[in-house]
């Protein structure tokens, strides 16, 4: 498997979790779940694809993890200041709600 695909997976999977993390109280159970659930998903993905845990892949996937979390939190803060409707902790539901909202 290509290292670029693995890095993109780590980045993309962390965006909704970063969005969720930015809307919960710090150091709560949800906060820790938003950080650690994607780690388990990435480990599962590595095991299912046979990539394993080669040291050179960590140089790409660990920063992708943090940048995905950061991007998700920035999306939340941007939307929080721009949207008139209250936001939830779920990026997908917020996007569906905005898409289905009536236009003025």
CA-to-CA dists, residue 21 to 41, 57, 62, angstroms: 16, 25, 18
Residue ranges in the chain whose pLDDT is less than 70: 1, 84, 103-104
Q: What is the pTM of this model?
A: 0.86
Separation CA 49–CA 77 (nearest Å): 34
Give pLDDT, residue 104: 58
Separation CA 11–CA 75 (nearest Å): 14
Three-state DSSP class for residue 103: coil
The total of structural domains in the chain comes to 1
- Domain holding 11, by residue range, is 3-100
């Amino acid at each position: 498997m290509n290292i670029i695909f693995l890095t993109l997976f780590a980045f993309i999977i962390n965006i909704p979790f970063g969005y969720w993390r930015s809307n919960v109280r710090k150091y709560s159970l949800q906060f820790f779940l938003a950080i650690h659930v994607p780690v388990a998903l990435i480990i599962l993905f590595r095991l299912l694809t046979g990539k394993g845990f080669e040291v050179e892949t960590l140089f790409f996937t660990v920063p992708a993890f943090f940048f995905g979390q950061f991007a998700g939190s920035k999306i939340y803060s941007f939307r929080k200041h721009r949207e008139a409707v209250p936001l939830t902790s779920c990026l997908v539901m917020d996007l569906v709600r905005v898409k289905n909202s009536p236009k003025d």
